[in-house]
Amino acid sequence: MKKLTGSCLCGKVEIQVPDQFDFIGYCHCSQCRKWTGSAFAAGGLVDEKDFSITAGEQFVSRYPKSEETELGFCSGCGSNLFSHKLKRGKYIVRLGVLDDAPTQRPNVHIYCASKAPWFEITDQLDCYDELP
């Protein structure tokens, strides 16, 4: 299976994931908006065993957002890299850090009930108020 590489803005951290995600979508929850500084976070879900940091592990800072989620970012440039879903054994990789385009395309919006009031979803993808 094809592998996708990714990196942070300064290039100190590099990751690798398979070009096969459990899902790819847009999260509109208030916490993702705060973390990304944007209207939503674009991410793809992979198993822990399929996610690897191939360079710069020492530059990855981790923020314990909750008992279930740990956020990973580059301590050098601040790039948001991933959300580690600790109890589920999954990673949500931020699509913006990928150097290669994934074969799959985003197909869902989640937490639409709490989306930014100034942002309008105009595509035809499925929207869920929470997780489907």
Q: Cα(113)–Cα(28) distance, rounded to whole angstroms?
A: 8
Residue 131 has pLDDT above 90, yes or no: no
Q: How confident is the model at residue 9 (pLDDT cuts 50, 70, 90)?
A: very high
Q: What pLDDT, on a 0 to 100 scale, did the predictor assign at position 1?
A: 81
Tell me the sheet residues that pair with 17.
4
- pLDDT tens readout for residues 20-46: 999 999 999 999 999 999 999 999 999
Q: What pLDDT, on a 0 to 100 scale, did the predictor assign at position 5?
A: 98
Asked whether 92 and 12 are in contact (CB, 8 A), the reply is: no
Asked whether 81 and 8 are in contact (CB, 8 A), the reply is: yes
This prediction has a pTM of 0.91
Q: What pLDDT, on a 0 to 100 scale, did the predictor assign at position 7?
A: 98
